[in-house]
Amino acid sequence: MKIVDALLDMNTSPTSELAARYRADFPILNLKVNDKPLVYLDNAASSQMPQSVIDRLIRYQTTQHANIHRAVHYLSEIATREYETARRTLQHFINAREDREIIFTSGTTDAINLVMHGYGRKFIQSGDEIILTNLEHHSNIVPWQMLAEEKGATIRVVPINDAGELLVDEYEKLFNPRTRFVALTHVSNALGTINPIKSMIAFAHQQGVPVLIDGAQAAPHMKVDVQDLDCDFYAFSGHKLCGPTGIGILYGKAKLLESMQPFKGGGDMIASVTFEKTTYNTIPYKFEAGTPPIAAAIGFGAAIEYLSKIGLDAIAAYEHELLNYATEQIITIPGVHIIGNTRTKVAVLSFIIDGVHPHDVGTLLNQEGIAVRTGHHCAQPIMQRFKIPATSRASFAFYNTKAEINTLVEGIHSIQKVFS
Amino acid sequence: MNLKSIYQEVILDHNRKPRNYGTLDNANHHAVGHNPLCGDRIDLALHVEGEHIDRIAFHGESCAICKASASMMTATVKGKSRSEAETLITEFREMAVGNLDLSGPHHLGRLAVFAGVRDLPTRVKCAILPWHTLQAALNSNAIVSTETAEDSIHAANSKA
């Protein structure tokens, strides 16, 4: 876990407030909510968009829009070029070998469903086993359950300890000759736990089992290198990386993608069509049926360029500093408990306040202009594991400040007063 | 909307000390109300003698708004007839989604403290769930959810 070690090292050295440099790039952060300055701490659900990405979307819609890969006219050529440029931006962002290993999807959920349909339905049979973890959110559980039900396969689940860490020994014990696939989150959305995926991928490969990584919560917060990780698939979404909604990517090793069946049929994913037979296009187009969200893909590329300029290592270090600061503040408040206490976390702080339901916490914090997520975070198995109905989750981005964390802490104090 | 209009003392008090909280022996009507989005769960038991609700109890896990709504609901409908309860269910729903003019005639009394939820669309379901559950119990439905297709809470919300 090189990334984590680096984070922990950096934690001991002072990091200047990244927010001071980049906050002004985000117009929405000037908003007032209930007459209070917005304190946006729901970044794990969706991050905000900088002006440069907004401007890029406007430029595309104003001067570049046309359908792609079809026409020979000027606008179509420009739109096609920009769309494919965005693909290469994503390729370099995660260090994929080739741009054809990047498939644009509508998001992480769509990407996982693509693998389920394209790989799972072809290669997973009755009696086979699929390994998931207790840390998955619903997007990386439900598609595999649907597949298991259809095929008569079995889901095996890696348990976690009380700190919210995967029990890697138990993971290894789950493997047997029937194990066909591993689907594993890089970072837990509800607890922030960073999983030791590199060694877990290596172990699965020793057994000849491919691994999909759900990177929705990791890609915004740390440098991801798919070649270094050697994962077979990696999925994440644009809107958690300062980009638009409705766009994400699936990275897949070219050989695997080539072996898979198309998930959706339609235009652009074919080489030729007659009523007798259709032959499919090459990757990545085989998996991009129909007109894609062109503007969103180009906006996603712009967001990646923006984040790359700041640097994911700098973002990770600063967010870790924010997390440490917030953790130190919140653990000192009597009656408040943090759920997920591993040292290797991204900047997600899930907590419960004794005697106050998280939904009341969310409503009361909103009165102070503070946006946190409350609920089960589409990860009900984690809530069941900790025997709680829900948590309140503050999740930080590089544009958040320590002053905002102080506002959150004051908010928690005032909630406790209301409920005392 | 100001904070005081929903988290006022009467609601906080019912949350702290819910009335009619627990189980009921010999209940002849029962329903479980569930909001899968937030995990609120209200287990409601009634004993209806003839046309009258003579005993009622609830338990479950929920937020303050839901629990206070359940507590005040049980305190209000205890001893009332089915048709009086049905009227209250309708009026409470209409109030929660902002369709009831509280200055006009109604039977809600202190339940009007919940009027503030109309400005919190995400919390309307919390307040209505116990009433939805009561209706299910009176109609002998075992389980209701805020998220089923034919759900009247959705219909109510869409008006908000």
Q: Which of A378, A380, A409, A419 is catalytic?
A: A378
Helix (H) or strand (E) holding A140: none
Please check whether residue B44 is in contact with residue B70, taking contact to mean a CB–CB distance below 8 angstroms.
yes
Is the per-residue pLDDT at B119 higher than 90? Answer: no
Secondary structure percentages of chain B, helix, strand, coil, to 5: 50, 20, 30
CB contact under 8 A, B12 and A376: no
Q: What are the tens digits of pLDDT across the range A359-395?
A: 999 999 999 999 999 988 788 888 889 888 889 999 9
Q: Which of A42, A142, A359, A378 to mutate to test the interface with B (most CBs of B within 10 A)?
A: A359
Low-confidence ranges of chain A (pLDDT < 50): 1-2, 4-14
Q: Does A37 touch chain B (CB under 8 A)?
A: no
Residues of B in contact with A363 (CB under 8 A): 6-7, 120, 122-123
Q: How far is A390 from chain B (nearest CA, A)?
A: 7
* Residues of chain A numbered 377-416 and touching chain B (CB < 8 Å): 383, 389-390
* Bridge pairing between strands A270-273 and A278-280: antiparallel
Backbone angles phi, psi at A49, to 5 degrees: -110, 130
State the pLDDT at residue A300: 98
State the pLDDT at residue A149: 98
State the pLDDT at residue B143: 67
Q: Is A378 a catalytic residue?
A: yes
State the pLDDT at residue A6: 47
State the pLDDT at residue B20: 96
| B93-105: average pLDDT | 92
Q: Which of B38, B62, B119, B122 to mutate to test the interface with A (most CBs of A within 10 A)?
A: B38
CB contact under 8 A, B12 and A389: no
Q: How far is A375 from chain B (nearest CA, A)?
A: 5
Question: What residue in B sits closest to A33 (Cα-Cα)?
Answer: B1
Question: What residue in A sits closest to B125 (Cα-Cα)?
Answer: A359
State the pLDDT at residue B121: 83
Hey, where are the domains in chain B?
A: 3-159
Please check whether residue B53 is in contact with residue B78, taking contact to mean a CB–CB distance below 8 angstroms.
yes
Residue B119 contacts by C-beta under 8 Å, 6 or more apart in sequence? B1, B5, B98
Domains and CATH numbers, chain A: 2-49+311-418 (3.90.1150.10), 54-308 (3.40.640.10)
State the pLDDT at residue B141: 63
User: Which residue in B15, B61, B123 is closest to A363 by CB distance?
Assistant: B123
Residues of B in contact with A359 (CB under 8 A): 38, 40, 63, 65, 123, 126
State the pLDDT at residue B151: 42
State the pLDDT at residue B144: 74
State the pLDDT at residue A15: 63
State the pLDDT at residue B148: 60
* Beta-bridge partner residues of A23: none
State the pLDDT at residue B142: 66
Picking from A187, A159, A195, A141, the residue whose alpha carbon sits closest to that of residue A350 is A187
CATH number for the domain formed by residue range(s) B3-159: 3.90.1010.10
Total CB pairs under 8 A between chain A and B: 42
pLDDT-above-90 percentage for chain B? 64
Residue B1 — very low, low, confident or very high, per pLDDT cuts 50/70/90? very low
Question: What residue in B sits closest to A359 (Cα-Cα)?
Answer: B63
Cα angle: A288, vertex A294, A297; to 5 degrees: 85
DSSP letter string, A156-189: EEE-B-TTS-B-HHHHHHH--TTEEEEEEESB-T
User: Which residue in A360, A367, A376 is closest to B63 by CB distance?
Assistant: A360
